[in-house]
Structure 1
Amino acid sequence: MNTKTKHIIGYSGTAVVALIIGAAAGSGGSSGTATPAVTSTVRTTATVTAPAPDAQPASAVTTTVHAPAVTKTVHAPAVTKTVTTTPKPKATIPGDGTYQVGTDIQPGTYVSGTPDSGNCYWARLKGTSGSFSDIIANNNSAGQSVVTIAPTDKVFETSGCNDWSRR
């Protein structure tokens, strides 16, 4: 076997071994989940230069061997971001109900027009036990009502009133 043949077989063998290793590394199993994929293609070229058998020492023969392209797909983990927003408390309060301050309604000054029912009752409360000691302030009105709900109030109760609008 001459030097030219050894070089061609040696480089060709190296290219084939590299191809097999690359294909084995790229053949992974499926994880069952969809993930974004990154694909790259690698082309391997081996160039062998051997002296021509009957040529002068300065001459050379060049043989180029092209290996098939190797494609490897890499799966990146999926990125999930969950954003939860809390709705702001209303700037308007319905005329009947019990509302938690800071959750259902915002602290501030509210006004309710003359009640259609003839009587508007409201109460600022520091608790929900139903005890008289929970009442911070309250009022019965047949006309327009104005109330300032403090950030320290726990609950605002209203009954028979028209809707309350924030001033």
Structure 2
Amino acid sequence: MSTPNYQNPGPYQAPHPGAAVPPALPPRKPSRAKSWLTHGAAAFVALFIGVGIGASGGSGTEQGDAKASGSVKPGPTVTVTGADKARPAPTVTKTVTAKPKPPKKTQDPGPATVFDGDGEYLVGEDIQAGTYRTAGADGSFGCYWERAKNASGEFDSIIANNNLKGPGRVTLNKGEYFKTNRCQEWKRTS
């Protein structure tokens, strides 16, 4: 007697008594492709039914109940003729004359007598000549001021300078440049 070939058994043959019984095959896991196909087909059918319901004009409760009871009433018929067509509203133009703001009553007093504690100023043009006072530093690093002959920034152009920890005064002459950093507001005293 020959041993059956389990790899390619051919047509089914009942095992002979005393023949070896083939080992049981493990159960197959469902394939993911088949699962996606089943779910996709179900979604497509649901979509098709939903579109059909939507195209029928509603949920079917009012119309379906009315059709079942035989009490469907025809709706009004609307006919639009050339005379009934909507016309655009006429364009209305309104002219408004703007009122100019009155000019501010400011007289140019000339150069400032009060100025910010950070900047560079030309005495006689930006600020008036005279003696100025500050309350001191505008932070913890101290207040630096400098009187200079010109705006070059060169070391030899400095006439006088100082680092203040508290209040201070400086007298400025016309034509000088005054530089100030990290100081509180400067006010002219005389």
More helix by share: 2
Higher strand share: 1
Please give the range of the TM-score, normalised by the shorter of the 2 chains.
0.3 to 0.5
TM-score under structure 1 normalisation?
0.46
**Larger Rg belongs to:** 2
- Scaled by the length of structure 2, the TM-score of the pair is 0.41
